[in-house]
Each structure stands twice: as C-alpha cells, then as structure tokens.
C-alpha cells in the first residue's frame, strides 16, 4: 500500500458458535485512528458484546457489509480464525486476498493443518497466541487477557454451584466457616482465580509446578501447597508451560490427593500449548471429596485436567460436580472484547511505521506470530510439524 494511504482495519462479525466477543471496540477504534488506521466494521459485529453500531460511528469507525469489510481492509482482525474457527476460513476463503494481513487467535499449535489450509488464501496470518512473553509485548498478550477473564468467571461458576457460601460469617445463628478453595496452576488464570476467591472470603490454597510463583501466590493471600516433587524446565523459553511426562504427573496426583479431598472447590488451569492437557485429578480423587463439592476445569477444551471432564458439560461424580468450562471470556464479552481490542491495537501499532504496515521479521514479535505468508506456511516450527521442507520457511 502507498505510504500516503490510510490503513484500513476490517473487523468482521465472529461466526464461531457461541462466540460473542468482537475484535475491536469503539474506544480502541478511536485510538487506532490516531495511529493512522481507520476501522471498518461489519454491521452488528459488536451487538453481542454490548457495543452498538452507533457507538462505533461516534468514534470514527465506518459500518459496512461483510464483503465490503474484507474488500476494503488492509488488515482483518478476528477473535477466532483458522484453527480456532476452521469453518470461518472455509466460508471466507474467497474474501481473503494475497497481501492482506490477518490477525487473530488461530490455534496454530493445536491445529497446524488449518494453518496450511489458510495459507492457500495468500493472506499473511499472524497468530496472536504466539506473541512472545517479553516485557515489550505485554500489552499485546491476548492469552493473558483472556485468562484473566476465565479465572474470574471460574470462581463465579464455582460459587454459584457450591451449596454453601464462600465467606466466614459470624451471625446470631452461629458462625459459618469459610469455603476451602484449591487452585491448581498459578498462571494468569490461576492467579485471578486466587484473587477472586479471596475477595469472596474463601480460604485459598494453590499449587504450581514452578516454585518461583510461591511468592505471587502468597502475595494474594493464599497458602502455597508444597509438594515434594521436582519439575525441572516447567517453562519453555517463551514463558509457556512445557509437558513434563506421565511419571511426573502420576507422582503429582498422588501427593495432591489429600489437598483435593479437603477442598470444597477445586479450580484447575493447567494447559500446554498445542498439547492435550495433563490429567491432574482422577475419579478416585473426586470420590474422596465431600458431597456438594465443585471442580471447575479450565482446561476442558484441551481434554481437561480431570479425567471425567466433558467440554461444555457438567458431570456428576458421586456428590461432586465437575464443570467442563469452555470459552468463558465469551460469557463476559463486554470487557473481554475491550481487553482483546487493546491487545490487537498494541500489536498493530507495533508494526505501523510512516502510515504503513512494516512486516519485518527482524522484530521478534512479528517473527514469532507470523504463520503464513505469500501462500505458504511461514513459521519454521509449524513447517516442522507439518513435515514441510524448512528451506522456504524463512522469508
């Protein structure tokens, strides 16, 4: 595009079943305008999130049909695309074009074949899940933003399902003891679950394979559960969880069983990018929990941290309910969309130079997130997974 042309960021309505988020909100559209980008949004795209067409227009965005959004856009911003919504890629394949930049959550590690399929559109796809966890990219980290929402909502689900109150209360009818909550995994979702449980008055215990997070757990008022099991290399160089092997998880389950049995609520958050979630809690462990106890499994979409989890369903095991939570950010779309849009804007602003998009792989953020370009898979890691030659990976 010409350096003097206005960058158009197109925002289509999300098509994934149950997806209520939108990739751009009115206030952030106005921020992008200051960077030299105009937002063109599909009519009605923000309604499910609580953002009206009039609100977008008031902030300088233009309304258009879906076809018009794709035709005008230099950049297309999705919440879900490619592997995160394969049906959308097939439905919109004719609308994408070579040279167009597409950003969104694409599940590249979980669905690499979908990335290969997307490459045939000719558009350049940037998977926001792959934003490196470096200081400069914190404002672009969609996984952390959405995990914040999921961790908060998980506590509300648990509190609603639990047949007792969370806080300790001293009443004329006697003292009510607080609920005991055990959070497994102290990433962003886990830390938010800890903080939210404490706000509701629960006694909170938490565990993570990374001893370094003990201080973070304690700073939120929870007790760190010490398990005498070592986990070397629990994180990869990008700051994401690494698979540790079945023998480690077996020992972990044995040691964790007592804490699970003593808890009224267990919230599990352990996920590994591109892998099935590790099983941390078994039916035998659930059988030792008190009747009425609740487990919220935030890894349900990846197979679950509980061996009986069913994604999108609540399973009853004896007297214990196991909630297979899926896409919780879409249940709170107003603020989830707000956070996501800010991440997208920061991501794009990082590449906008002199009123044009600078897609330079010298930039670590660009290099790590760029998965397709010029009709081919551009990511070396994905090429390896797909069995493609590595010689053409670098572009």
Active site residues: 133, 138, 141, 144, 240
CA dist., res. 218 & res. 213, Å (int): 9
CA dist., res. 32 & res. 127, Å (int): 20
Number of residues that make up the chain:
395
CA dist., res. 100 & res. 123, Å (int): 5
The DSSP code for 311 is T
Angle in degrees, 0-180, between the axes of helices 188-199 and 142-161, rounded to the nearest 10: 40
Which two structure tokens, joined as six digits, stand for 295?
A: 């487990």
With residues binned 3-state (H G I as helix, E B as strand, rest as coil), the percentages for the chain, rounded to 5, are 40, 20, 40
Angle in degrees, 0-180, between the axes of helices 142-161 and 333-349, rounded to the nearest 10: 170
CA dist., res. 329 & res. 216, Å (int): 23
Q: Are 301 and 107 in contact (CB under 8 A)?
A: no
Q: Are 29 and 342 in contact (CB under 8 A)?
A: no
Selection from 17, 23, 14, 9 nearest residue 336 by Cα: 23
CA dist., res. 30 & res. 20, Å (int): 22
State the alpha helices, DSSP H only, in the chain: 26-34, 53-58, 66-72, 86-92, 112-119, 142-161, 188-199, 214-219, 246-261, 283-287, 333-349, 364-369, 380-385
Residues β-bridged to residue 75: 9, 101
Report the relative pairing of strands 223-224 and 376-377 from DSSP bridges.
unpaired
Task: For residue 216, count CB atoms less than 10 angstroms from its CB and return exposed for 0-12, middle for 13-18, buried for 19 or more.
Answer: middle
Q: Produce one character per residue of 225-239: b if its CB has 16 or more CB atoms within 10 Å, e if not.
A: bebeeebeebeeeee
Which residue's structure tokens are 């206030």?
27
């Amino acid at each position: 595009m010409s350096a003097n042309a206005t960058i158009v960021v197109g925002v289509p309505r999300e098509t994934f079943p149950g997806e209520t988020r939108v990739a751009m909100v009115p206030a952030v559209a106005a921020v992008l305008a200051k960077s030299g980008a105009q937002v063109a949004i599909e009519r009605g795209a923000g309604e499910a999130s609580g953002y009206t067409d009039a609100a977008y227009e008031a902030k300088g965005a233009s309304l258009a049909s879906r076809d018009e959004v794709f035709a005008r856009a230099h950049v297309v911003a999705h919440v879900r695309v490619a592997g995160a919504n394969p049906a959308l890629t097939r439905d919109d394949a004719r609308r994408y074009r070579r040279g167009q930049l597409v950003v969104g959550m694409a599940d590249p590690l979980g669905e690499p074949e979908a990335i290969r399929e997307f490459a045939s559109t000719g558009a350049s796809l940037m998977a926001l899940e792959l934003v490196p966890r470096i200081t400069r990219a914190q404002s672009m980290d969609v996984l952390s933003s959405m995990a914040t929402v999921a961790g908060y909502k998980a506590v509300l689900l648990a509190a609603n399902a639990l047949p007792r109150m969370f806080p300790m209360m001293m009443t004329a009818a006697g003292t009510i003891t607080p609920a005991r909550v055990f959070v497994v995994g102290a990433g962003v979702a886990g830390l938010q679950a800890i903080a939210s449980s404490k706000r509701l008055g629960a006694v909170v215990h938490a565990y993570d394979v990374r001893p370094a997070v003990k201080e973070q757990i304690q700073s939120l008022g929870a007790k760190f559960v010490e398990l005498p099991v070592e986990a070397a290399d629990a994180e990869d160089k990008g700051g994401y969880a690494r698979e540790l092997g079945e023998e480690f998880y077996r020992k972990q389950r044995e040691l964790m069983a007592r804490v699970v049995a003593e808890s009224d609520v267990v919230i599990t958050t352990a996920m590994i990018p591109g892998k099935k979630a590790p099983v941390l809690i078994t039916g035998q462990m659930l059988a030792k929990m008190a009747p009425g106890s609740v487990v919220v499994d935030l890894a349900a979409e990846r197979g679950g941290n509980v061996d009986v989890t069913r994604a999108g369903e609540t399973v009853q095991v004896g007297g214990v309910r196991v909630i297979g939570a899926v896409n919780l950010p879409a249940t709170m779309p107003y603020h989830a969309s707000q956070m996501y849009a800010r991440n997208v804007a920061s991501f794009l602003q990082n590449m906008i130079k002199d009123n044009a998009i600078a897609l330079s792989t010298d930039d670590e953020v660009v290099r790590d997130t760029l998965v397709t370009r010029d009709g081919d898979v551009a990511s070396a890691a994905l090429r390896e997974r797909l069995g493609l030659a590595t010689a053409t990976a670098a572009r």
